[in-house]
Structure 1
């Protein structure tokens, strides 16, 4: 199985700066977590290469997964045809996080090791991770 992550990098020198990583092995998730924790890294859009497309003509995915690491907390959101939009049910003291196309409410941040476990589960199953607790969010 493979998951692919892409994210922007805040840069005054290059407004289109970004990075990406394809992961095929569970141990590679730790590298993604480290890279998302870098000071200028934005939230990553992540997709599972093994899932069916929602629309093969347009290439539209059937899921929306976003991860971020900030201030010592990991953040993850998930949405697909079987699940409404949800974020991790995290540490109540974690602050909210807003970024490009990502909005995580206060209390949705977790230890980065928990985020890593969730992403390993996603890599293995292609489904919403079951190793973490979720809470649905109405915006």
Structure 2
């Protein structure tokens, strides 16, 4: 895929873990319009099932997604698993909170706020591309 100035753009395989159905649709559409491949899950169990059987380039995880594991704990758990120890994780959130700030200290992933608009979706892709250079 090429951008407007003719330079190569990467196409990534995203797994989006988001509880809210409307947010899942918005995020999927924003990323697909930018030429990305996207799978969507709504629960931590589905997230863990998907990462067990597929190889994703990027994980977008709602920090509020939890069952027994709260968002950042879930992301940390996934980061300990191969091959996801080197896979970028982007956390999605509505608000900054003390718990979020605690997660941010690790610098293992970055945070973007919802709702995701086209500019934010492009920023996520740019961030991931910058980690490849």
> Larger strand proportion, structure 1 or 2?
1
> Larger helix proportion, structure 1 or 2?
2
Same fold (TM over 0.5): no
